[in-house]
């Protein structure tokens, strides 16, 4: 009986993990579809789901009908720059330390041009 319960719990855990992975994969693909011209730095960050998972950016997405376009006018990370502006300028709308005018980001942007 205990073995059956363990197998059942294992099956539930596998299904839960698969569901989460599917949802995350969908969010990522939606983002990539929404911003096909996003810079390589942001695209790489989005492909690494942990980049924005658990951030206010993700929460704003969930709270606004799961629409990336709907949150372009928000400032999810509170750095004073709107999400859409940040994406257009290759800074991270989920990271307050990443913003247009930050010298380190400017240097990263220049380096990315040469890669
Ligand atoms: Ca921002
Ligand atoms: Ca930012």
Write down the domain spans for the chain: 2-113
Cα separation of 69 and 89, whole Å? Answer: 16
Give distance in angstroms: CA of 68 to centre of ligand 1. 14
Cα separation of 16 and 85, whole Å? Answer: 35
Give distance in angstroms: CA of 115 to centre of ligand 2. 22
Q: Going residue by residue through the chain, which has 115 residues, state the pLDDT in tens, using 9 for 90 and above.
A: 677 777 777 666 655 555 454 455 688 899 999 999 999 999 999 988 777 889 999 999 999 999 999 999 999 999 999 999 999 999 999 999 999 987 655 666 566 656 6
Q: Cα–Cα distances in Å, from 68 out to 2, 23, 63?
A: 46, 15, 11
Give the pLDDT score at 22.
Answer: 47
Give distance in angstroms: CA of 20 to centre of ligand 2. 26
How far is residue 40 CA from its own chain's centroid? 14
Give distance in angstroms: CA of 107 to centre of ligand 2. 15
Give the pair of three-digit tokens for residue 27: 């969010």
Give the pLDDT score at 32.
Answer: 92
The SS3 call for residue 18 is: helix
Give distance in angstroms: CA of 8 to centre of ligand 1. 44
- Backbone phi, psi, residue 67, to 5°: -125, 115
**Residue among 65, 29, 59 nearest 46 (CA):** 29
């Amino acid at each position: 009986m205990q073995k059956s319960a363990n197998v059942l719990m294992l099956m539930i855990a596998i299904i839960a993990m698969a569901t989460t992975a599917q949802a995350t994969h969908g969010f990522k693909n939606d983002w990539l579809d929404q911003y096909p011209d996003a810079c390589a730095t942001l695209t790489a960050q989005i492909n690494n789901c942990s980049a924005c998972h658990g951030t206010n950016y993700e929460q704003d997405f969930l709270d606004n009908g799961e629409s990336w376009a709907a949150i372009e006018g928000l400032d999810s990370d509170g750095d004073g720059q709107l999400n859409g502006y940040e994406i257009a300028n290759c800074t991270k709308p989920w990271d307050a330390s990443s913003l247009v005018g930050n010298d380190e980001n400017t240097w990263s942007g220049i380096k990315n041009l040469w890669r």
